[in-house]
Amino acid sequence: MVRLETHPFTEDDLADAGRLLAARHRRHRAVHPLLSPQYDDAGAAEAEVAAALAAEDASGAVATRGGEAVAFLLGAPRSGAAWGENVFVDSAGHATADGEGAETTRELYAAAAARWVDAGRTAHYVLLPSSEAAAVDGWFRLGFGLQQTHALREPPTRPPAVRDGLVVRTPTRDDIPVLARLDLELPRHHAISPTFSAAAVPSYEESLAYWEEDFDNPDFLNVVAEHGGRVVATASCCRLEKSSTHTGPARPERAWFLSFAAVLPEARGIGAGRAVAEAVLDHARTDPAYDVLVTDWREPNLTSSRAWRALGFRDSFWRLHRLVGR
């Protein structure tokens, strides 16, 4: 095989990167046809790579064989204290040619990551198609682990079954205090074992103020579940365009986003979380504007990772993470 060579990513590499990304997306759509066909086109894919390159402090590498580009990697820092001194490779930031193995990914990362670490950016994140087995294998053998899962599914074909003892409804302003409490349950759950998220948990007062201000926001659909006459669970959904984490090739068209769900600790195990999630799915079933449902979860979150797959969500992208020097 012709020897692999690497060089820093420049604007001259955009056309080759667009070609590689479009080919990767076509392969991925063969597994996940609900994804947008837009990025099957090399020009549309190149535009996404160009946007990634335009991000502040973006950098990366290209791998070639015999002068032909066979892989690229492009990342940039993301703001937010919880991410650490970081570099994020988003869904348009990495692709390898069909037939290139894990070693190509490993060489590519070695070329790009030296600059990132020299700049003090030691928390590395990469969003990959779950179907790209060779690339995923390469990242795992670079010390990365699975942190976050993006998943999708079709809307259900029939309404959810009625669950004994639970009443699912839209919330009223009288529910704001319990909605504020529920808003804290997910970050609290993420802070404990085995997820151990570093994200700050808001105060109850901050959550209450948010709900007071945003309760009537028409962009979001909220539902709650009552058990024994009191609210014990909630879920929210919105158009996927509202999500900053589902962009580029990872964003299906005409998609509804299950953005949040939580259950009070004392009510877990009675089916309240599933009931509110199914109510969100049913909204997509009855709205002809939507063809796809999308959600995401922290993979170490045992509850979410089991519940959403049990609801029919299929892994589409995986965010891998590595902390250098730890």
Tens digits of per-residue pLDDT, 193-243? 998 988 888 999 999 999 999 999 999 999 999 999 999 999 999 999 988
Q: Which residue has the higher pLDDT, 314 or 285?
A: 314
The helix (run of H) or strand (run of E) holding residue 260 is: strand 255-263
Whether the bond into 249 is cis, omega within 30 of 0? no
Residues 23 and 81 in one domain: yes
What average pLDDT does range 82-93 have in this prediction? 94
Residue 80, pLDDT above cutoff 90: no
Interval 251-295: pLDDT, tens: 999 999 999 999 999 999 999 999 999 999 998 888 888 899 999
Flag whether 234 is in a domain: yes
Residue 162, pLDDT above cutoff 90: no
Confidence band for 189, pLDDT divided at 50, 70 and 90? confident
Please give the tally of structural domains in the chain.
Answer: 2
Residues 130 and 178 in one domain: no
What confidence score (pLDDT) does residue 283 get?
87
Residue 131, pLDDT above cutoff 80: yes
What confidence score (pLDDT) does residue 82 get?
81
Flag whether 161 is in a domain: no
Confidence band for 110, pLDDT divided at 50, 70 and 90? very high
**What does the angle CA 237 – CA 88 – CA 73 come to, to the nearest 5 degrees?**
120
Judged by DSSP in three states, 318 sits in strand
Tell me the two tokens of residue 73: 């990697």
Flag whether 97 is in a domain: yes
Residues 171 and 310 in one domain: yes
What average pLDDT does range 25-54 have in this prediction? 98
Residues 301 and 247 in one domain: yes
* Dist CA 126 CA 280 (whole Å): 29
What average pLDDT does range 83-109 have in this prediction? 96
Residue 115, pLDDT above cutoff 90: yes
Judged by DSSP in three states, 299 sits in coil
Mean pLDDT score across all residues of the chain: 95
DSSP structure class, residue 159: P
* Dist CA 187 CA 29 (whole Å): 33
Residue 54, pLDDT above cutoff 70: yes
Residues 114 and 185 in one domain: no
* Dist CA 46 CA 323 (whole Å): 29
Residue 252 CB: number of other CB atoms within 10 A? 24
What confidence score (pLDDT) does residue 287 get?
86
Within the chain, residue ranges assigned H as helices are 14-31, 42-54, 102-118, 133-140, 176-191, 204-214, 272-286, 302-310
Residues 41 and 86 in one domain: yes
What average pLDDT does range 133-140 have in this prediction? 96
Flag whether 275 is in a domain: yes
Flag whether 256 is in a domain: yes
What are 316's strand-pairing partners? none
Residues 181 and 74 in one domain: no
Flag whether 23 is in a domain: yes
What average pLDDT does range 152-181 have in this prediction? 94
Confidence band for 326, pLDDT divided at 50, 70 and 90? low
DSSP structure class, residue 242: G
Residue 63 CB: number of other CB atoms within 10 A? 23
Flag whether 159 is in a domain: no
Flag whether 54 is in a domain: yes
For the sheet with 68-75, list strands across it: 4-8, 59-65, 68-75, 94-96
Residue 176, pLDDT above cutoff 90: yes
Q: What is the CATH number of the domain that holds 224?
A: 3.40.630.30
| Domain region containing 226 | 166-315
What average pLDDT does range 167-171 have in this prediction? 96
What are 257's strand-pairing partners? 238, 294
Residues 62 and 186 in one domain: no
Q: Judge contact between 220 and 237, C-beta under 8 A.
A: yes
Per-residue b/e over 174-211, b at no fewer than 16 CB within 10 Å?
A: ebbebbbbbbbbbeebbeeeebebeeebbeeeebbeeb
Residue type at 25 in one-letter notation = H
Tell me the two tokens of residue 231: 């609210």
Of 109, 142, 175, the residue at which a domain comes to its end is 142
What confidence score (pLDDT) does residue 275 get?
96
Residues 10 and 64 in one domain: yes
DSSP structure class, residue 246: S
Confidence band for 122, pLDDT divided at 50, 70 and 90? very high
Q: Judge contact between 17 and 74, C-beta under 8 A.
A: yes
Residues 108 and 187 in one domain: no
Residues 268 and 231 in one domain: yes
Of 126, 142, 158, the residue at which a domain comes to its end is 142
Global pTM reads 0.94
What confidence score (pLDDT) does residue 191 get?
87
Residues 95 and 178 in one domain: no
Residue 79 CB: number of other CB atoms within 10 A? 7
Of 108, 142, 176, the residue at which a domain comes to its end is 142
Judged by DSSP in three states, 47 sits in helix
What is the four-CA torsion angle of 320, 112, 141, 19, rounded to 10 degrees? 70
